């Protein structure tokens, strides 16, 4: 049986190899779909008119004892890496955090994450994940896709992290000067500033360059495209929204993580601001919330 299996593998390999032209010389080898002769400067020369070279896609942390010059495309951050003999060096890639890839900047600071676009049926272009999320959601309760929780209008100063501390002292400016979640029923800022998060050049816009916080109308337009008006529909949408929960404005504790999704809009409503709220037990709504709550943020391209 083992010999038969080996024979089958050999026959399959022979079939696929027969689709290509091989040129083997004393110093180099060419694999070609076009019949091209390998270049003298290359040990291995791949040639095709309509296909590319697919590199291995493995995170560097999973590779034991890498050899000098070893390369991989890491799925965790979409960066291409080469091992220098002592450490992994980024060569660039799709991810915004890749050292050789300028990409869109995050003027407001915060965790640099890959900036990958997805286009909705509404025609709008969005980032494919929440701010602070390490990956695109694989489920509504995907912890790695939850991301950060922002108080409305604040910059990425550290308060958005789920591990940040709390304070009861309101800020009298747009930049509190610390990374604590501010506990306050009406607003983290006193007096309030309705001009925060307004547009791509708005004050404290936490999105990368060219992106902004969506308006209430833009979130509502997305909601109307869902297959069901609940958490399942939110995840099934092209945005793959998660039930990342919220951080309260009274204790700084976390609520409804894994069951409710809360997403800020840039739209104000008197002393509060509008946000999209959904779970599996009732219909999704656009509702007003205290600006001191911590909600998820999904950026839209301007």
pLDDT at 27: 67
Residue 282: other Cβ atoms inside 10 A: 12
Same domain, 132 and 259: yes
> Does one domain contain both 36 and 111?
no
In a domain, 52, yes or no: no
> What confidence category does residue 83 fall into, taking pLDDT thresholds of 50, 70 and 90?
confident
pLDDT for 91 equals 77
In a domain, 61, yes or no: no
Kindly state whether residues 257 and 148 are assigned to the same domain.
yes
When comparing pLDDT for 291 and 35, which is higher? 291
How many percent of the chain have pLDDT more than 90? 59
Residue 58 included in any domain = no
**3 state SS for 70-122:** CEEEECCCCEEEEECCCCEEEEEECCCCCCCCCCCCCCCECCCCCCCEEECCC
- My answer on whether 113 and 258 are in the same domain is yes
Strand bridging mode 294-295 / 300-301? unpaired
Indicate whether 94 pLDDT > 70.
no
Q: Is the pLDDT of residue 90 over 80?
A: no
**239 domain-assigned:** yes
pLDDT digits (tens, 9 = 90+) for 136-195: 999 999 999 999 999 999 999 999 999 999 999 999 999 999 999 999 989 999 999 999
**Residues 210 and 280 reside in one and the same domain:** yes
The answer to the question of residue 114 being in a domain is yes
Domain termination residue (choose one: 15, 30, 47): 47
Residues 216 and 119 in one domain: yes
Contact 82, 71 (CB under 8 A): yes
Number of domains in the chain: 2
- 292 and 218 inside one domain: yes
Residue 36: give the domain boundaries.
2-47
> Residue 17 corresponds to which tokens in the numbers above?
């190899």
**181 and 259 assigned to the same domain:** yes
* Position 83 in a domain: no
In this structure, are 126 and 36 located in the same domain?
no
Distance of CA 126 to the CA centre of its chain: 11
Do 130 and 248 belong to one domain? yes
283: in domain = yes
Is residue 281 within 8 A of residue 273, CB to CB? The reply is no
- Please indicate, yes or no, whether residues 233 and 127 belong to a single structural domain of this protein: yes
Measured in whole angstroms, the distance separating CA 128 from the mean position of its chain's CA atoms is 6
Determine the pLDDT at residue 187: 97
Do 41 and 144 belong to one domain?
A: no
Tell me the average pLDDT across 67-88: 81
By CB neighbour count within 10 A (0-12 exposed, 13-18 middle, 19+ buried), where does 146 fall?
buried
Q: For residue 37, what are the CA distances in angstroms to 15, 24, 40, 178? A: 22, 9, 9, 62
Specify the pTM. Answer: 0.70
Res. 7 pLDDT band, cuts 50 70 90? very low
Q: Answer whether 33's CB lies under 8 Å from 19's CB.
A: yes
pLDDT tens figures, 8-53? 554 444 444 454 555 555 567 878 777 778 877 777 877 888 888 8
ω into 191 cis (within 30 of 0)? yes
pLDDT greater than 60 at residue 251: yes
């Amino acid at each position: 049986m083992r010999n038969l299996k080996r024979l089958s593998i050999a026959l399959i390999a022979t079939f696929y190899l027969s689709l290509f032209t091989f040129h083997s010389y004393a110093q180099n080898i060419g694999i070609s779909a076009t019949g091209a002769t390998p270049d003298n400067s290359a040990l291995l020369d791949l040639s095709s008119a309509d296909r590319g070279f697919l590199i291995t896609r493995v995170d560097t942390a999973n590779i034991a004892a890498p050899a000098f010059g070893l390369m991989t495309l890491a799925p965790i951050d979409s960066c291409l890496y080469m091992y220098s003999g002592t450490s992994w060096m980024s060569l660039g890639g799709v991810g915004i955090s890749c050292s050789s890839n300028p990409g869109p900047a995050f003027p407001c600071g915060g965790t640099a994450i890959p900036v990958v676009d997805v286009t909705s049926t509404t025609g709008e272009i969005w980032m494919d994940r929440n701010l602070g999320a390490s990956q695109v959601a694989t489920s509504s309760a995907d912890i790695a896709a939850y991301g950060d929780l922002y108080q409305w209008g604040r910059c990425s100063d550290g308060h958005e992290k789920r591990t940040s501390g709390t304070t009861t002292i309101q800020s009298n400016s747009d930049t509190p000067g610390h990374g604590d979640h501010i506990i306050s029923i009406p607003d983290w800022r006193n007096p309030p500033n309705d001009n925060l998060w307004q547009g791509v050049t708005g004050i404290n816009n936490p999105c990368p360059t060219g992106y902004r916080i969506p308006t209430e109308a833009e979130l509502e337009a997305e909601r109307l495209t869902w297959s069901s008006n609940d958490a399942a529909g939110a995840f099934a949408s092209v945005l793959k929204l998660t039930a990342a929960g919220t951080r309260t404005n009274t204790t700084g504790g976390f609520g409804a993580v894994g069951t409710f999704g809360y997403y800020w809009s840039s739209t104000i409503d008197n002393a509060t601001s509008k946000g999209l709220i959904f779970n599996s037990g009732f219909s999704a709504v656009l509702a007003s919330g205290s600006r001191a709550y911590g909600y998820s943020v999904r950026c839209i391209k301007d």
